[in-house]
């Protein structure tokens, strides 16, 4: 496994991580097609709860993620995708990132359908998984400072809570009927549940398996092996394995659960991989 390092660099397509690049290209291409096709495109590929439930248009809970209602809708979603998605993908890798992205998207779709099952108004946009990425970013980097509306400095953890509360009350009161607030909230809740429970269960299962494997290995009679010189490659693999373990620990228990020695290791490892 190659080291996953995120560094703050000027926004450029070349420096973007693979999944972010792919999502930006696909969203931009689909938006261009929708401009030529018109309203029918939104009805066919947007999320229309009535069509999904009664007409079995089962592709819509996935296809709606790539449909946007206008250029500014597309721009702000892609900007947020770059802003919060880059550090998350840098830590998780492309496959885990895309899996999480689409799980949050499906959770947002389920929330929209549950709230308005007979609606014929299409829900469009990648906002559901974007809000899910906000949760992931806040859990990975809770003390990072984000400038809300480019003006107000807020810690990432506090921002995620604030946005969740705002989306809930805006959806409950119907203050902004043209915005799918419960889709946003569904993406956030799905992301949190996935990271807090499913990911935790997966990590515990991996730990149990490692313990079982270690017990089996200890029970076997040890055979003498010729000593091998330590190589830089072997040390690098050990470092990456330890880094993955610490990232798993952060996701389960938060950054505060790390010991001072573990935090020092992460700082040193980050410094080494930058050179």
**Distance (Å, whole) CA 78 – CA 27:** 8
Q: Which residue has the higher pLDDT, 268 or 156?
A: 156
Q: Kindly indicate the confidence band of residue 233, based on its pLDDT and cuts at 50, 70 and 90.
A: very low
Q: Check whether 266 has a pLDDT greater than 50.
A: yes
The model's pTM is 0.71
Beta bridge partners of 154: 146
Closest residue by Cα to residue 128 from 35, 37, 47, 240: 47
Residue-level pLDDT at 123: 92
Domain positions in the chain: 18-195, 234-275
Closest residue by Cα to residue 66 from 25, 95, 104, 94: 25
The owner of tokens 């996953």 is: 4
- What lies within 8 Å, CB to CB, of 51 at 6+ separation is 57, 60, 120
Q: Check whether 33 has a pLDDT greater than 90.
A: yes
Which overall architecture, per CATH, does domain 18-195 show? Up-down Bundle (1.20)
**Distance (Å, whole) CA 108 – CA 131:** 9
């Amino acid at each position: 496994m190659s080291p996953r390092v995120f560094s703050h660099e000027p926004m450029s397509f070349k420096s973007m991580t693979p999944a972010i690049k792919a999502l930006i290209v696909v969203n931009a291409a689909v938006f261009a097609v929708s401009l030529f096709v018109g309203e029918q495109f939104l009805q066919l590929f947007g999320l229309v709860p009535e069509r999904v439930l009664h007409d079995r248009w089962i592709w819509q809970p996935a296809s709606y993620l790539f449909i946007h209602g206008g250029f500014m809708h597309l721009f702000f979603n892609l900007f947020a995708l770059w802003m919060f998605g880059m550090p998350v993908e840098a830590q998780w890798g492309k496959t885990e990132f895309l899996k999480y992205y689409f799980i949050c998207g499906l959770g947002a779709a389920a929330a929209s359908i549950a709230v308005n099952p007979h609606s014929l108004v299409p829900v469009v946009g990648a906002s559901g998984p974007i809000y899910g990425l906000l949760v992931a970013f806040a859990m990975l980097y809770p003390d990072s400072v984000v400038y809300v509306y480019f003006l107000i400095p807020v810690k990432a953890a506090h921002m995620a809570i604030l946005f969740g509360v705002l989306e809930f009350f805006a959806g409950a009161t119907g203050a902004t009927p043209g915005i799918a607030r419960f889709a946003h909230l569904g993406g956030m809740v799905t992301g949190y549940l996935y990271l807090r429970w499913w990911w935790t269960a997966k990590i515990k299962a991996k730990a149990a398996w490692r313990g079982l494997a270690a017990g089996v290995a200890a029970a076997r009679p040890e055979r003498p092996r010729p000593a091998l010189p330590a190589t830089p490659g072997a040390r690098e693999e050990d470092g990456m394995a330890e880094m993955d373990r610490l990232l798993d620990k952060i996701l389960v228990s938060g950054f505060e659960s790390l010991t001072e020695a573990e935090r020092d290791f992460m700082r040193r490892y980050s410094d080494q991989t930058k050179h």
